[in-house]
Amino acid sequence: SKQSEDNLRSPICCIMGHVDTGKTKLLDCIRGTNVQEGEAGGITQQIGATYFPAENIRERTKELKADAKLKVPGLLVIDTPGHESFTNLRSRGSGLCDIAILVVDIMHGLEPQTIESLNLLKMRNTEFIVALNKVDRLYGWKVCRNAPIVKAMKQQSKDLQNEFNMRLTQIITQFKEQGLNTELYYKNKEMGETFSIVPTSAISGEGIPDLLLLLVQWTQKTMVEKLTYSSEMQCTVLEVKVVEGHGTTIDVVLVNGVLHEGDQIVGPIVTSIRALLTPHPMKELRVKGTYLHHKKIKAAMGIKITAQGLEHAIAGTGLYVVGPDDDIEDVKDAAMED
């Protein structure tokens, strides 16, 4: 209905895949940032969150001339590590999301953590889109910066197109071996049963418009109920960390509901929110930077919370708010069940 369309929250999208397939670089390409180069060893070791306002998505997809209007306020993207030792973080990220991007390196095909990610997604029946990344590494690639993928592909030589098709066919076969049908997104006639593949380059940006548009269109078309804002609090702690000048803080993803400065929160500890902080839109929550202060924040959003006693908070657990009519002991019991 019209009513619920006006009350959609931002979809939460988790980006997953094997180490070094280009997850963080893809986000850097969309944000216009350089997070990946600042990572120790070029390895992601924490969960991140970035908010993309609808306005930026509209700008980034305009060449595709999609007349479908954006109904969601934006997109909240959760970055996860691909290194094998971080299965718990991939599980935490995939447990929060409405949709995922599974990144596959076109030169490597499916790798161990691709399959592990796939199994996490299957387990929860989570929809996903495959980003077939690093197409610029195909021999002789002609850069068409930030172009839609069909346009970029038309500029390529016959030999390159043949190599692309050969690798694509092999990767579709590898997915088939995992029990999944996949197809290039613009050839996919049965979305929902067959998963879509979007070829991308995180270095030169080809396919990024397609990936963003597909994410937004697919979520707002098929997940209206799930994305209808609910005032019932749903909030998960991503990371617990010390930030200079703020003491121990927690990074959370607010999936539903609203948080206010001063709210009494219950995790393993009872405390009240001193400050509600977010990075600027299109900036990574896990990267130290300047924060915006908020009196209140409505879901969905990645938020840094400062408060006393947060050193006792536990990543991966839920955060609960004591409402005016709540009995604090009941809220504590709910929190203990995590």
The residues binding ligand GTP (CB under 6 A) are 17, 19-25, 36, 42-44, 81-83, 133-134, 136-137, 201-203
Residue ranges in 10-39 that form contacts with Mg ion under rule CB under 5 A: 23-24
Nearest-angstrom CA–CA distance, 282 and 134: 22
Q: Could you tell me the smallest distance in angstroms from the CB atom of residue 195 to ligand GTP?
A: 19
Name the binder of 246 from ligand GTP, Na ion, Mg ion, none, CB < 5-8 A by kind: none
Instruction: Find the shortest distance in angstroms from Cβ 256 to Mg ion.
Output: 27
Of 20, 28, 105, 263, which lies in the binding site for Na ion, with binding defined by CB under 5 A?
20
Closest to ligand GTP by CB, 9 vs 23, is 23
77 vs 284: CA distance, rounded Å? 9
Count of helix runs (H) and strand runs (E) in the chain: 10, 17
Do the Cβ atoms of 50 and 26 come closer than 8 Å? no
Least Å distance, CB 274 to ligand GTP, is 31
Pick from Na ion, Mg ion, ligand GTP, none: which does 236 bind, CB < 5 to 8 A by kind? Answer: none
Q: Is 44 in the site for Mg ion (CB under 5 A)?
A: yes
DSSP letters of 121-147? HHHTT-EEEEEEE-GGGSTTPPP-TT-
Give the contacts of 6 (CB within 8 A, at least 6 positions apart). none
Which stretch in 40-48, 86-94, 122-130, 178-186 sits in contact with Na ion by CB under 5 A?
Answer: 40-48
Q: Does 220 bind Mg ion (CB under 5 A)?
A: no
From the list 34-42, 180-188, 229-237, 271-279, the region that binds Na ion by CB under 5 A is 34-42
SS3 172: helix
Strand partners, 53: 74
- Whether residue 40 is preceded by a cis peptide bond, meaning omega within 30 degrees of 0, is no
Q: What is the 3-state secondary structure (H, E, C) of 82-93?
A: CCHHHHHHHHHH
Instruction: Please state, in angstroms and rounded to a whole number, the distance separating the CA atoms of residues 289 and 185.
Output: 36
Q: Compare residues 73 and 81 and give the one whose CB is closer to ligand GTP.
A: 81
- CB atoms under 10 Å from CB of 138, counted, come to 19
133 near Mg ion, rule: CB under 5 A: no
Residue 249 tokens, joined: 């803080």
Nearer to Mg ion, 156 or 201 (CB): 201
- Give the total of residues touching Mg ion (CB under 5 A): 3
Q: Is 42 in the site for Na ion (CB under 5 A)?
A: yes
In the bound state with Mg ion, the residue whose beta carbon lies nearer, of 24 and 56, is 24
| Least distance between ligand GTP and beta carbon 44 (Å) | 3
* Interaction site with Na ion (CB under 5 A): 20, 42-43
* Interaction site with Mg ion (CB under 5 A): 23-24, 44
